[in-house]
Amino acid sequence: MVVRTSSSPSAPAEAHTQALALLRETSPLTQCITNAVVTNFTANALLALGAAPAMCDIPGEAGMFARIAGGVLVNLGTPTAEQRDAAREAVSAGTPWVLDPVAVGALPVRTALAHEVLDARPAIIRGNASEILALAGAGSGGRGVDTTDAADDALDAARTLAVRTGGTVAVSGETDLIVDATRTARVPGGSALLTKVTGGGCALGAAMAAFAAVAEPFEAATAASAVWAVASERAASGARGPGSFAVAFLDELAAIEPADLRDRVELPR
């Protein structure tokens, strides 16, 4: 049985530290329907974090597997016809799931699918500002997978999506923005080298799915963002460039402790 941390508008500011401890204790099975470019990095990041990845994206199996998983990621980076059908199965299973609407707004097939699966109420939507604006109908998308907007530009759009789905929306940026219907958190910091490694953002969506197995959506998204900020900063401190950073980042994900996340999240007083 999966145990989730409590969630309320008055939840303690350090709840994300408890989420990391629970993830390490339970090693939640995390199903990833994700894009072909990032599969290996995503699986390794989940293993380093302490979760159990499973790249089960075959129609006829995806829905079955989602019912036994603790959390599910649906990433629209390379949405083949098979993956689209697998996603439809998985989001209907009732397991907490994360939508990563990669390049939504800029391309028609994935945009249509993203709007379709929104009705299945993702626990968390994670994207860059341009993707979140486009998904909310307030923008046309960025430059492919790259944002042309700042995270705070998408605050109102994120809140609209959170109210619509009853979940949480996480907007990645120089300072990550996490909102649900009533709460807002910001996670500053992290290294820009994450943007030079294929899968840095996509693996964050998978981490949120893993945390969603042990914490409520707002706490799950906040915990994952805090972990990414701390681990990427530490990895960057000794890296010579993107290659050494990618390896060091996995090492830092494995080494990070709940206490390392204290004071990494900004909540309104």
* Residue 212 falls in which region: left (phi positive, over 0), alpha (psi -120 to 50) or beta: alpha
Question: What pTM did the predictor assign?
Answer: 0.92
Residue 6 pLDDT more than 90? no
pLDDT single digits (tens) 99-140: 999 989 888 999 999 999 999 999 999 999 999 999 998 765
What is the H or E stretch that residue 125 is in?
A: strand 124-128
Cα(125)–Cα(133) distance, integer angstroms: 12
Q: How far is CA 244 from CA 50, 222, 251, in A?
A: 21, 26, 11
Q: Judge contact between 141 and 114, C-beta under 8 A.
A: no
Hey, how many other C-beta atoms are within 10 angstroms of the C-beta on 52?
17
- Single out the residue of 55, 50, 75, 74 nearest to residue 65, CA to CA: 55
Residue 146 pLDDT more than 60? no
% of the chain surpassing 70 pLDDT:
91
pLDDT single digits (tens) 33-56: 999 999 999 999 999 999 999 999
The residues facing 71 across adjacent strands are 30
For the chain, what percentages of helix, strand and coil (3-state, to nearest 5) are there?
50, 15, 35
What residue has token string 């995270």? 151
266 or 67: which leads in pLDDT: 67
What are the chain's domains? 15-254 (3.40.1190.20)
Dihedral over Cα of 230, 232, 235, 238: its sign:
negative
